């Protein structure tokens, strides 16, 4: 009997030892499982911090680049303003040059228009031809007066006084030349036509002379 009790006690002791060992192993596994998420969480936080640092660094670099770009733009603006200032220092030269070009263009346009009118009258009658020259006179004489007005503003008083004398002499020459040319049709229907036609041709020439020789 005593032997059986000892045997049972020994068996129970062994079973208890095994159970205790199993419990401890289970407890260690649970602790390890709990610790691992903490470590992962710490790693993730570290990554977040690193990413945040990189983003901040990129932001700083972008702001620096923008600042440099702004400085370059400012320099470019200064250079442009200097160019504008340089152009504004000589406004008279630009204005007078453009006026001369403008009036040369006007004269060439008027010349082409008169030539086109002469090539295409309403019909071949003397009346139609006179109508063309009358219209041409209005165009050319109008330009002559306009150019003369511009020169009055550009030339000095002494220069303008000399030009007035020259212009009066030219008017006498124009009328005399036109009269002589028309005499070959004296008493005919073409006399007045020839007079105005020659007058127009001389007026056109005079307009070009005034612009090219006097307009600054």
What pTM does this model have? 0.56
For 39, how many CA atoms within 13 A lie in the half-sphere containing its CB? Answer: 6
How confident is the model at residue 75, as a pLDDT?
Answer: 45
- 122 touches 128 (CB < 8 A): yes
In this structure, what DSSP letter does residue 188 have? S
State the pLDDT confidence band at 216, using cuts at 50, 70 and 90.
confident
How confident is the model at residue 16, as a pLDDT?
Answer: 63
Coil, strand, or helix at residue 90? coil
State the pLDDT confidence band at 9, using cuts at 50, 70 and 90.
low
Residue 95 is encoded by which pair of tokens?
A: 């204005």
Identify the residue with better confidence: 131 or 88: 131
Q: CA–CA separation, 40 vs 43, rounded Å?
A: 5
Q: What is the pLDDT of residues 57-67, one digit of tens each?
A: 444 444 444 44
Q: Would you call 200 exposed, middle or buried from its count of C-beta atoms within 10 A (0-12, 13-18, 19+)?
A: buried
Q: CA–CA separation, 90 vs 156, rounded Å?
A: 19
Q: CA–CA separation, 136 vs 8, rounded Å?
A: 146
Which residue in this structure is represented by tokens 């004489």?
A: 141
End-to-end CA distance of the chain: give it in Å, rounded: 147
Helix (H) or strand (E) holding 194: helix 191-214
Identify the residue with better confidence: 31 or 212: 212
Above 60 in pLDDT, residue 210? Answer: yes
- 189 touches 170 (CB < 8 A): no
State the pLDDT confidence band at 88, using cuts at 50, 70 and 90.
very low
């Amino acid at each position: 009997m005593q032997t059986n009790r000892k045997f049972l006690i020994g068996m129970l002791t062994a079973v208890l030892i095994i159970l205790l060992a199993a419990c401890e192993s289970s407890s260690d596994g649970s602790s390890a499982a709990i610790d691992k998420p903490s470590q992962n969480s710490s790693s993730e936080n570290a990554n977040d911090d690193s990413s945040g640092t990189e983003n901040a660094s990129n932001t700083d670099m972008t702001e620096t680049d923008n600042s440099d770009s702004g400085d370059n733009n400012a320099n470019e603006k200064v250079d442009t303003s200097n160019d504008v200032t340089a152009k504004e220092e000589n406004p008279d030269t630009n204005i007078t040059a453009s006026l001369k070009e403008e009036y040369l263009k006007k004269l060439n346009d008027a010349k082409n228009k008169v030539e086109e009118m002469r090539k295409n009258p309403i019909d071949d009658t003397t009346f139609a031809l006179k109508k063309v020259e009358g219209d041409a006179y209005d165009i050319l004489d109008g330009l002559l007066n306009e150019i003369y007005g511009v020169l009055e503003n550009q030339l000095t008083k002494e220069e303008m006084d000399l030009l007035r004398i020259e212009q009066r002499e030219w008017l006498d020459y124009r009328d005399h030349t036109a009269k002589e040319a028309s005499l070959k049709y004296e008493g005919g229907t073409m006399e007045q036509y020839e007079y105005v036609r020659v007058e127009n041709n001389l007026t056109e020439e005079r307009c070009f002379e005034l612009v090219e020789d006097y307009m600054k």
